[in-house]
């Protein structure tokens, strides 16, 4: 079991202005500052905006541009944001899972993927349908560690790149969004928005019985078109690709380690005790049991026979 820290202090030095907006949402005496990270329940928060501000944006879901127009927080320093907003939140998830979700959603399902597929084809020099998941990572995602990082689609940018250098006091793991948001929002509103994932890549799909890391996206596209069949991460992730992704997203994993605190870290160890203090029970002294040596003898007195 891992404990989640409520507060995370970001020290992100990257200028994220062009790809990661921040928003302010307000509803029924509840308000919060929200950093938008693509692939991290972002569609659910669009749905929340639509319900909070009906008519502000056209369509079933507002575009990111409409959110920026009506709810973006800008021209405030990190210090001003920390002081002005009592609740500051972001959603995070496992980086490898996030990359695989992008591959499924954009390369296999091709859901709103025109920009990503165009960028991808330009970089790799061939039809994205021919790419395996390994090739998607090794030829495209790895560019995030180079000077060509801007050629990679924003859905794949490390999560820490999106964060402001502020203190976030509502840090939510992706699989716990519903329960965490129910602590902020009225139950009925929370049920309508967060109870079911709005844009899950697996919603309505069927697990593929067999898949191999060497299978290209075109194979999975056909399976999905015929029967909503999708591969799982465990079927396509090779040890080499996992290791490479952990290198690319090392900062994200460090962030998660800071957020998800091991319970052992709360225990007072011998090395962390103040100098001169020793709470260990000594061994037997001169044949006397250790608890007696400390003046702690909890044994029951035997009944004395009456003479």
pLDDT in tens, 179-229: 999 999 999 999 999 998 766 666 668 889 999 999 999 999 999 999 999
d(CA 24, CA 39): 19
pLDDT per residue as tens digits for the range 228-268: 999 999 999 999 999 999 999 999 999 999 999 765 543 33
Rounded Cα gap, residues 234 and 228, in angstroms: 18
**Domain assignment of residue 182, given as a range:** 3-259
What pTM does this model have? 0.81
Residue 175 lies in a domain: yes
Domain membership flag for residue 264: no
Q: Is residue 13 part of a domain?
A: yes
**Is the residue at 292 inside a domain?**
no
For residue 237, CA distances in Å to 59, 165, 295 come to: 37, 33, 60
- Evaluate whether 57 touches 66 at the Cβ level (below 8 Å): yes
Tokens 């210090």 sit on residue: 79
Domain assignment present for residue 179? The answer is yes
The pLDDT of residue 269: 37
Q: In the prediction, which pLDDT does 270 show?
A: 39
The answer on pLDDT for 173 being more than 80 is yes
pLDDT at 303 over 70: no
Stretch among 7-16, 19-28, 203-212 having the lowest mean pLDDT: 7-16
**Nearest-angstrom CA–CA distance, 250 and 254:** 6
The answer to whether residue 282 scores a pLDDT higher than 50 is no
Question: Nearest to residue 110, comparing CAs of 139, 137, 131?
Answer: 131
216 assigned to some structural domain: yes
Query: Do the domain assignments include residue 277?
Result: no
Mean per-residue pLDDT, 276-294? 45
| 265 domain-assigned | no
* Pairwise CA distance, residues 130 & 216, whole Å: 5
Give the pLDDT band (50/70/90) at residue 17: low
Checking if the pLDDT of 22 tops 90, the result is yes
Number of domains in the chain: 1
Residue 76 corresponds to which tokens in the numbers above? 């405030």
């Amino acid at each position: 079991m891992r404990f989640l820290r409520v507060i995370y202090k970001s020290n992100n030095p990257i200028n994220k202005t062009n790809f990661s907006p921040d928003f302010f949402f307000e509803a029924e005496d509840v308000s919060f500052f929200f950093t938008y990270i693509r692939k991290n329940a972002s569609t659910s928060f669009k749905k929340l905006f639509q319900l909070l501000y009906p008519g502000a944006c056209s369509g079933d879901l507002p575009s990111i541009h409409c959110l920026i127009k009506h709810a973006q927080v800008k021209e405030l320093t990190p210090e001003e944001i920390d002081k002005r907003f009592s609740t500051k939140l972001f959603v995070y998830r496992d980086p490898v899972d996030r990359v695989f979700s992008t591959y499924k959603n954009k390369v296999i399902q091709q859901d709103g993927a025109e920009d990503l597929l165009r960028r991808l084809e330009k970089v790799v020099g061939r039809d994205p349908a021919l790419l395996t998941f390994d090739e998607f990572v090794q030829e495209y995602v790895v560019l995030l560690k180079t000077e060509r990082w801007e050629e990679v689609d924003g859905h794949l940018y490390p999560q820490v790149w999106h964060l402001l250098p502020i203190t976030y006091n509502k840090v939510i793991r992706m699989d716990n969004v519903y329960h965490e948001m129910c602590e902020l929002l009225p139950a009925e509103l929370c049920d309508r928005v967060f109870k079911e994932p709005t844009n899950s890549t697996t919603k309505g799909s069927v697990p593929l019985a067999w898949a191999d890391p060497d299978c290209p996206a075109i194979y999975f596209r056909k399976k999905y078109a015929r029967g909503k069949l999708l591969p799982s991460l465990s079927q396509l992730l090779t040890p080499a690709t996992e290791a490479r992704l952990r290198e690319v997203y090392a900062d994200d994993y460090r962030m998660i380690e800071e957020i998800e605190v091991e319970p052992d870290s709360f225990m007072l160890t011998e090395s962390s005790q103040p100098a001169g203090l020793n709470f260990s029970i000594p061994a037997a002294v001169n044949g006397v049991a250790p608890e007696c040596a400390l003046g702690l003898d909890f044994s029951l007195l035997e009944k004395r026979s009456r003479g």
